[in-house]
């Protein structure tokens, strides 16, 4: 690992831990992503995490706050764009018809993409607005 990669790994650690400490499972390899996608039934929230302070700093708190909702997905996972590139690419491969976006959030049901919140619907919004988007998707797909 070169000095830049080591630096970025250290910089991203708190951003990873913000989600994993809250209960998200981190998928760091294409194999973990494929195993999750092929073996998981029910609903899932996938957060494509990012180092971007403006948008990701809004996405993570909203995703964590959504865990408090009575109606929520069965599973919570995250991949880290720019850090775990192969895992992120593998996850994005399951999002057919959606442009890559980070950070972003996806609601899956039995492995099928049902709802996608791209960066453009995160950046510039308040965490409460992002939480409202998640809660509306939960109401529609997680009942």
With a pLDDT cut of 90, the percent of the chain lying above it is 85
Give the model's pLDDT for residue 53. 72
pLDDT average, residue stretch 50-70: 91
Give the model's pLDDT for residue 34. 98
Q: Is the pLDDT of residue 6 over 90?
A: no
Instruction: Say yes or no: domain 14-142 is CATH 3.40.30.10.
Output: yes
Which positions are catalytic? Answer: 52, 54
Q: How far apart are CA 66 and CA 58, in angstroms?
A: 13
Show the beta-strand stretches assigned E in 13-110: 25-26, 43-49, 75-80, 104-109
């Amino acid at each position: 690992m070169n000095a830049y990669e080591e630096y970025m790994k250290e910089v991203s650690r708190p951003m990873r831990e913000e989600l994993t400490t809250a209960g998200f499972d981190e998928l760091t390899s294409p194999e973990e992503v494929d195993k999750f996608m092929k073996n998981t039934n029910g609903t899932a929230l996938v957060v494509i995490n990012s180092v971007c302070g403006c948008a990701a700093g809004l996405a993570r708190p909203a995703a964590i706050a959504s865990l408090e909702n009575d109606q929520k997905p069965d599973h919570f996972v995250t991949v880290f764009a720019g850090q775990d590139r192969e895992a992120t690419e593998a996850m994005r491969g399951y999002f057919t018809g959606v442009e890559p976006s980070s950070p972003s959030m996806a609601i899956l049901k039995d492995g099928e993409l049902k709802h996608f919140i791209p960066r453009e619907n995160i950046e510039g919004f308040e965490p409460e607005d992002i939480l409202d988007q998640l809660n509306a998707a939960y109401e529609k797909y997680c009942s």
